[in-house]
Structure 1
C-alpha cells in the first residue's frame, strides 16, 4: 500500500528513524523542516538529504522509508499553506509521558530556532513585531525544564506552549509567503461565487 496520502505522525517517523539505526526524536528535525520551508522553500531532495545526514546514512534504506520521509515534508507544506491554518508540529502524542512530550516541544523549538539563527538578520528585518515577539518567545521553549509530573496543570501549560509554537510557525510561514494561505480572501464577499 502506498504511503503517499497517509498522514505521518510522530511514531511513524520515529519508527522510520529506528529502521535507520537512529534513536533521535523527529521533533528537532520537524522544527528545522518547518522553519526551512518558511525561509528557504526547502525542496524534497534537499529535505531527504538533510534527514539522511542527520540519521548518518547515505540514503533511505528502502522505498517505503523514502516515501514516508517525503510524505512528512509534503504534509508539513500542505498544513502550513492551507487556509484552515491546521499545521501541527510533529510531537509526541498523549501516549507519551508529559516529560517526553515537553522534551519533544523543547527539541522542536531548538530545531526551529537553529534555522532562523542560521538565516541571519536579513529575513528578520521584514517581520512584523508580532512575529519577532513570537519567535523570541520560542527561545524560552528551547530551554524549558522537561521534568514534569503528569498532572492537569502541567498538561494545560504544555498545551498552551505547544499552541504558541504552532502559531509562531504559521506566522513565520504566512509572512514569508504572502497570499498563502489565502485567509484574507475567504472572508471577502467580493471573492465569493455569485449565486
Structure 2
C-alpha cells in the first residue's frame, strides 16, 4: 500500500472530543475501531455512528470534525493493512504521565476486548493458538494497576505491554484477512 492516510494523533482527537463535550479518552474508541476493522471491515458511516454514540452526540459539530473522525478510521485501516506492520494503538504520548499512559493502554484494551466479546465465539474458532493466547493475555492487561510511579522499570514494562497489544491487534487483523498485508514470502500468517 503506497499512500497511507495519516491518522490524527491522540491529542488532536482528545481535543476534538472536548470540543464535543466529552472527557472520554480516544484510546477506548481506538481499541474498538481496531477490533471492528479486523472483524467486520467497519464502514465509514457505521464508524461515525459509533463515535457519536460514544461521545453522546447526534452528529459531529462540523464537516471538519467528521472528516477528522473518518481520517482516523481510514488511517487505522491503512496501518493495519500495511505490509510494514507498523500499526500503533492510539495512546497518550510521552507528554502524558506514566499513569495516564497506562490508563490509556488499559482503556484501549477494554475497547478492543469489548468488540471481541460482542462478536461471540464464531470468529475465535479460526484463530491460531498464538492469537488466542495473545487475546487471553489482554484480559489481564485490562485489569492492570494503572497508578504507576515514574521509573525506568515501569516505563520499560509499559512499553512491553504496549508492544504486546500492538502485536495482538496486528495478528488479529492478519488472521482475519489472509494475504493482507502482504508480508515477506515464507512468513506464515496462519498456523
Once the two structures are TM-superposed, the CA of residue 63 in structure 1 deviates from its matched residue by: 1.0
Unaligned stretches of 5+ residues in structure 2: none
SS in 1 for 2:122: helix
- Name 2:92's counterpart in structure 1: 92
Q: CA RMSD in A?
A: 1.4
Taking the aligned partners of 2:115 and 2:5, their CA distance within structure 1 comes to 28
Change in CA separation of 1:91 and 1:52 when aligned onto 2, cut-off 3 Å? same
* TM-score, structure 1 normalization: 0.92
Structure 1 runs of 4+ aligned residues shifted over 2 Å read 4-7, 184-187
- Name 1:145's counterpart in structure 2: 145
- Name 1:192's counterpart in structure 2: none
Taking the aligned partners of 1:154 and 1:54, their CA distance within structure 2 comes to 31
SS in 2 for 1:60: coil
- Name 1:46's counterpart in structure 2: 46
SS in 2 for 1:87: coil
Taking the aligned partners of 2:186 and 2:180, their CA distance within structure 1 comes to 12
Deviation readout 1:37-83 (Å, 9 max, x if unpaired): 00011001000000001111111000111111001101100000000
SS in 2 for 1:18: helix
- Name 1:64's counterpart in structure 2: 64
Unaligned stretches of 5+ residues in structure 1: 188-195
Aligned residues: 184
SS in 2 for 1:135: helix
- Name 1:81's counterpart in structure 2: 81
- Name 2:126's counterpart in structure 1: 126
Taking the aligned partners of 1:15 and 1:186, their CA distance within structure 2 comes to 43
